[in-house]
């Protein structure tokens, strides 16, 4: 599917601040959280909490078994959304991330298949009007429709150059 079909825009594939499709939700394909993901993330992050890596200890918790690291799910949400055509179009204009908030309303278990729902919820110019702050909501939803991550991302995005049409 083309960028125009995803966003309703026509023309150049590069998106600027003005092109951000507010109140539109884009959904990634699914990705299953594996044992290798959890163990690899534990090694990378140094977070060997028993809740994530010790089946016996985790079985005795209120979760009844091992769960994925919340930051692993957040990282997956970041990576999975970068493949969406709308974010690929926005990438050349992305100047940085200025903030984030997140919560994990339910656990993610090994074997869960996640999809990420990305919605652009707010866009405001900065004082210079050469860029703007864009707020995105990214939600990770498992195969049962349960939200396991609810996050808000604040991005700084370049405005369309004044000499461009």
pLDDT in tens, 101-143: 999 999 999 999 999 999 999 999 999 999 999 999 999 999 9
For the chain, helix, strand, coil in percent to 5 are 30, 30, 40
Q: What is the pLDDT along the chain (165 residues), one digit of tens a residue?
A: 445 554 554 455 899 999 999 999 999 999 999 999 999 999 999 999 999 999 999 999 999 999 999 999 999 999 999 999 999 999 999 999 999 999 999 999 999 999 999 999 999 999 999 999 999 999 999 999 999 999 999 999 999 998 765
Q: What are phi and psi of 125, to 5 degrees?
A: -65, 150
162 and 17 in contact (C-beta within 8 Å)? no
pTM of the model: 0.89
Q: Residue 133's beta-bridge partner residues?
A: 124, 156
**Torsion sign across C-alpha atoms 100, 31, 7, 145:** negative
């Amino acid at each position: 599917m083309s960028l125009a079909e995803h966003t309703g825009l026509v023309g150049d594939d590069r998106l600027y601040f003005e092109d951000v499709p507010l109140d539109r939700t884009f959904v990634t394909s699914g990705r299953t959280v594996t044992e290798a993901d959890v163990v690899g993330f534990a090694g990378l992050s140094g977070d060997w909490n028993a809740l994530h890596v010790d089946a016996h200890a985790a079985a005795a918790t209120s979760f009844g078994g091992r769960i994925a690291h919340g930051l692993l799910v957040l990282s997956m949400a970041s990576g999975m959304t970068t493949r969406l055509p709308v974010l690929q179009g926005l990438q050349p204009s992305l100047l940085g991330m200025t903030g984030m908030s997140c919560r994990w309303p339910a656990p993610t278990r090994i074997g869960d298949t996640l999809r990420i729902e990305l919605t652009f919820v707010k866009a405001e110019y900065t004082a210079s009007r050469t860029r703007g702050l864009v707020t995105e909501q990214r939600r990770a939803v498992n195969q049962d429709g349960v939200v396991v991550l609810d996050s808000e991302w604040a991005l700084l995005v370049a405005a369309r150059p004044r000499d461009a049409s």
